[in-house]
Structure 1
Amino acid sequence: MLFIFCVGVEAGPNFFSIFFRDGKNYLMLALVMVGSALLIALGLGKVFGWDIGLTAGMLAGSMTSTPVLVGAGDTLRHSGVASAQLSSALDNLSLGYALTYLIGLVSLIVGARYLPKLQHQDLQTSAQQIARERGLDTDANRKVYLPVIRAYRVGPELVAWADGKNLRELGIYRQTGCYIERIRRNGILANPDGDAVLQMGDEIALVGYPDAHARLDPSFRNGKEVFDRDLLDMRIVTEEIVVKNHNAVGRRLAQLKLTDHGCFLNRVIRSQIEMPIDDNVVLNKGDVLQVSGDARRVKTIADRIGFISIHSQVTDLLAFCAFFIIGLMIGMITFQFSNFSFGIGNAAGLLFAGIMLGFLRANHPTFGYIPQGALNMVKEFGLMVFMAGVGLSAGSGISNGLGAVGGQMLIAGLVVSLVPVVICFLFGAYVLRMNRALLFGAMMGARTCAPAMEIISDTARSNIPALGYAGTYAIANVLLTLAGTLIVIIWPGLG
């Protein structure tokens, strides 16, 4: 239960923006991936004559998805099945998961490596195409993220280069990657505006990344570099800004014009996934921008687009516990249709409560704060305890299970793992007409499989597929949990 709740908290900041706004393609891909896997699993379960436990366990293992397993197990416990049948179904649920998990993981990793080749897809070219179309930052792999400040005295070469143009007309940042933070003229220190014109003898403070300073035109350096304490007295900070305000959500990254405000963008993080610095990325609520610059300028930018992420090690336990209890209460809700009744279940209830907590946290920085390290610890602890229970439950019957249904499980695991990936590729390529690098990243996100994503990025020799991975990852986690609930609800109606 802790695991599912934490999955919801992580998905919350981006879930609604993906669901309602610019992520319709990613939403459709995730639906196709999860929906096709669910239907195939139901069909194979009936063909092989399995019970709901083996069928749901096979789906969870083939999709390498613990949320499916949690959702199915919780729904079974609240389904009103006789205790003897329930015990058998839960044992078979663990058995099906244990028999197919490795099949699902290995087959997807192998598929990620060879499917682009089998489909004659050149992911490297597709990634380069996106880079050209979107003007991606070629310095995305820069090792040093903190900008530095250096000062130069304006010499005749720089005056000649400026040719009487003001700073706005020169566009120094576009040409050099640095911007002028201060000017000392005739002993007077000032912050320049766009109308300032460089004059002989001015001393200018340039802020930029070390590699940008190294690439400066010689006309900047032919004057003497100066070391003036007042001119260089500037506190460079790096902060993580959470996107929240309406004037930033739904806008392209380029529209923020961070460099016009003297700030540098280092990273864009969505759903804990670092994305390429792409001017055309549409910002979602809850995205995190790592920005460097003068402390005052960074604070101004943060107030304009959202808030600076709290760097605290203190968890808001009151909010965490309150929403956890609310999730359990939601899970107790049951619905009655004729003689058939079913409950939402703790898994779906906790997932929904976690999403709401994560969403509210993205909108109210002082509410529900949970340090990422603490969230990871609780999630991993919950997962490990749950997996230990699965292992203990499956261990006693795994030898008999291998003999009775081992061959069937091998076939079913391969089919459920790979066929939805092929269907998703065909849908994305020929219906949605997506760029192949983005499509393969989105497919791995729909499977929530980080190792396969790394293979796709290596094949593309770019982190551009991460754009697609981030688009489907959050919604897929939610859909997979619901799939575990749905397979148990649908099963009795199939006869």
Structure 2
Amino acid sequence: MSALLVQNPEMALFLALAIGHLIGRVKVGPIQLGGVCGTLIVALILGQSGVKLDADLKAVAFALFIFALGFTGGPQFFANVGKGWRYGMLSLVEVVAVMAVVMTATVLLSLNPGAAAGMLAGSATESAVIGTASEAVSRLALPPSQIEALQGEIATAYSVTYLFGLITIVLFTSQLAPAILRIDLKKEAADLARRMGGEGGSGAPALPPLVGRAFAAGAAAGETVAAFEQRLGYDATVERIRRGDQVREAASDDVLRPSDVLLIVGRRDGVLRAADVLGPETVATHLDMPLARRSYVMNRAELVGKTVAQLRALAPLESHRGVYIAGIQRLGHAVPVLPGTKLERGDVIDLYGADRAVARAGEELGRAIPLGDKTDFVMLGLGVLVGILIGMLGATVAGINVTLGAGGGCLLSGLLFGWYASRRAGSAAFPSSAAQILKDFGLATFIAAVGFSAGPDAIRLIKEYGLALPLAGILAVLIPASLSLFIGHRLLKIETPILLGAIAGQQCSTPAISALVSASGNSTPVVGYTVTYAISNVLLPLLGPVVVGLAAHLG
């Protein structure tokens, strides 16, 4: 079997991907390794047989992954650098503190550049650091065999420290931090949701949040449609009126008659209020109508930072009448749709309602996400090319050669291209599903290639450092997280659920935010998570070359 894999490395690649992601699905309590770490573990084992992937494939896979990562995070990164300074400070705390811990461990344990960079990547649970650090190692003035060994140690140190870093950040945010603050996390999250205009529930009701029902006008007779909708708090809309044998689209100035039958569509609470006024439902003969759900990227500068409630107040009644926000996605995570939820540039907002109304409101909001699935390869090709060129730039600081490399360059290029695309409707087609497959497959392929190369040296490194690396990895999580907890709670006065979400984000830990949302009972922690996640996802990979340079200099 091993001979077959050595002769056919593409088989080894897909075997590592399949088994690694299968292992990554296994969940023990709130802990789940994820596909990337699972793939690396399998690749390290298969690497014992001597299987290797071509270096060019590894470079291309990482360039595509890091560009897609920057592209999808660009709008949020630039939106939060200035305005989200309270949360952004926590990302700076993460960068400074984790660097201090890694450099201290480098001196005390005599870590080489590979082990130091791997410890940074694993303890910060940021896989992209492996790529930027590996590129930096390749530029060291060392024999090829030694460079390959150091790159292998990055992967091995990552795999050792990642598991402990992951467990630590999950337990810290969902269990330890609430105990330190002596709070009931579910109660705090429910209170925060109420202050933001919600009901404090989990955000996952058993009944659908948007419904349509038919009622006889009855008690509303004599009122205009606009006045009746105002009574409902604009949480429901009169979409159609059946008057005798005729069915017509409702207009705001229509005066309701006792014999009218109304089709009312809106939020569940609004329709229930309508039922309180109008009485029992009636048969909706000939009143049914198609409803549309479309996604828009919020890119209007004047709307950035506005709450959902302010958005409705700013827009003319006819612009938002009959349109409801069904969901908000920020960096791939669902943000609670509450009146107090603030909108950020790059948010993907799902609008629901009558087709014409959704189209009208969407134009006021931002850029429609194309229904097609075509990728603009002109943009993708130029973006990666520009990133590689940026990565060639370098400088010598205090005798240390600092160069971004293709990884860091493609990250910056992706940020700029993503930011530009969010401001120019139709300027670049890069469907979110396409970006996600590039991120997932690109990173997994790169990680597998690194694991194959590191396999032969993995056991030696584990024996050399023993428990020292895992303990250092735990400290590299606890120290930055504890500092952020103190600074965010005592000095910045950030609401606890949002603060804990921000701490999960500064670690770029998706399992941590998943466990935290479960422990909180609602999705309010996501508000803080997306800000620090966007910033740390840029800063931490850029630290890869810095750690390699400092560790080589200290050595």
Question: Normalising to structure 1: TM-score of the pair?
Answer: 0.89
8 Å Cα contact 1:145-1:266 kept in structure 2:
no
- Show structure 2 runs of 5+ residues with no match: 1-61
The equivalent residue for 2:434 is 374
Given the alignment of the two structures, is residue 141 of structure 1 paired with residue 198 of structure 2, yes or no?
no
Any idea what SS the aligned residue of 1:310 has? coil
Residues 310-332 of structure 1, C-alpha deviations (whole Å, 9 max, x = no match): 12122112211111111111111
8 Å Cα contact 2:229-2:236 kept in structure 1:
no
Structure 1 residue 226: Cα displacement: 5.0
Amino acid at match of 1:362: S
Residues 69-126 of structure 1, C-alpha deviations (whole Å, 9 max, x = no match): 2121112223445545534432332232232222222222233343122442321122
The equivalent residue for 1:324 is 384
8 Å Cα contact 1:6-1:354 kept in structure 2:
yes
Structure 1 residue 420: Cα displacement: 1.4
Distance 1:87 1:284, change over 3 A: same
Given the alignment of the two structures, is residue 455 of structure 1 paired with residue 515 of structure 2, yes or no?
yes
Structure 1 residue 247: Cα displacement: 3.5
8 Å Cα contact 1:54-1:92 kept in structure 2:
yes
The equivalent residue for 2:127 is 66
Residues in 1 aligned to 2:351 and 2:387: alpha-carbon distance in whole angstroms: 36
Given the alignment of the two structures, is residue 241 of structure 1 paired with residue 286 of structure 2, yes or no?
no
Amino acid at match of 1:251: K
The equivalent residue for 1:8 is 70
- Show structure 1 runs of 5+ residues with no match: none
The equivalent residue for 2:413 is 353
Amino acid at match of 1:134: M
Given the alignment of the two structures, is residue 275 of structure 1 paired with residue 340 of structure 2, yes or no?
no
Any idea what SS the aligned residue of 2:327 has? strand
Residues in 2 aligned to 1:200 and 1:105: alpha-carbon distance in whole angstroms: 63
Amino acid at match of 2:448: A
Structure 1 residue 246: Cα displacement: 2.8
Residues in 2 aligned to 1:363 and 1:251: alpha-carbon distance in whole angstroms: 18
Give 1:101's match in structure 2, choosing from 148, 162, 165. 162
The equivalent residue for 1:299 is 359
Given the alignment of the two structures, is residue 178 of structure 1 paired with residue 236 of structure 2, yes or no?
yes
Structure 1 residue 277: Cα displacement: 0.9
The equivalent residue for 2:282 is 225
Distance 1:175 1:362, change over 3 A: closer
Give 1:131's match in structure 2, choosing from 167, 189, 193. 193
Give 2:108's match in structure 1, choosing from 17, 42, 47. 47
Give 1:56's match in structure 2, choosing from 117, 141, 158. 117
Give 1:24's match in structure 2, choosing from 77, 85, 91. 85
Amino acid at match of 1:41: V
Amino acid at match of 2:479: V
Question: Normalising to structure 2: TM-score of the pair?
Answer: 0.80
Cα RMSD of the aligned pairs, angstroms, is: 2.7
Give 1:120's match in structure 2, choosing from 164, 177, 182. 182
8 Å Cα contact 1:137-1:277 kept in structure 2:
no
Residues in 1 aligned to 2:265 and 2:396: alpha-carbon distance in whole angstroms: 66
Structure 1 residue 399: Cα displacement: 2.3
8 Å Cα contact 1:239-1:291 kept in structure 2:
yes
Residues in 1 aligned to 2:265 and 2:216: alpha-carbon distance in whole angstroms: 15
Distance 1:235 1:83, change over 3 A: same
Any idea what SS the aligned residue of 2:302 has? coil
Distance 1:287 1:77, change over 3 A: same
8 Å Cα contact 2:194-2:200 kept in structure 1:
no
Distance 1:27 1:93, change over 3 A: same
Q: How many pairs does the alignment contain?
A: 486
For residues 194-213 of structure 1, the aligned pairs below 5 Å read: 194=252, 196-209=254-267, 212-213=270-271
8 Å Cα contact 1:78-1:342 kept in structure 2:
no
Residues 220-268 of structure 1, C-alpha deviations (whole Å, 9 max, x = no match): 135x835453xx2633111112111233233222122188521111111
Give 1:253's match in structure 2, choosing from 299, 308, 325. 308
Distance 1:490 1:350, change over 3 A: same
Any idea what SS the aligned residue of 1:247 has? helix
Residues 147-170 of structure 1, C-alpha deviations (whole Å, 9 max, x = no match): 454443323x444xxxx6655555
Residues in 1 aligned to 2:297 and 2:397: alpha-carbon distance in whole angstroms: 44
Amino acid at match of 1:57: G
Residues in 1 aligned to 2:466 and 2:321: alpha-carbon distance in whole angstroms: 63
Structure 1 residue 339: Cα displacement: 5.8
Structure 1 residue 360: Cα displacement: 2.4
8 Å Cα contact 2:484-2:503 kept in structure 1:
yes
Amino acid at match of 2:346: G
Q: Which moved more, 1:24-33 or 1:249-258?
A: 249-258
Residues 319-371 of structure 1, C-alpha deviations (whole Å, 9 max, x = no match): 11111111111111122458654322111101011112222222234233223
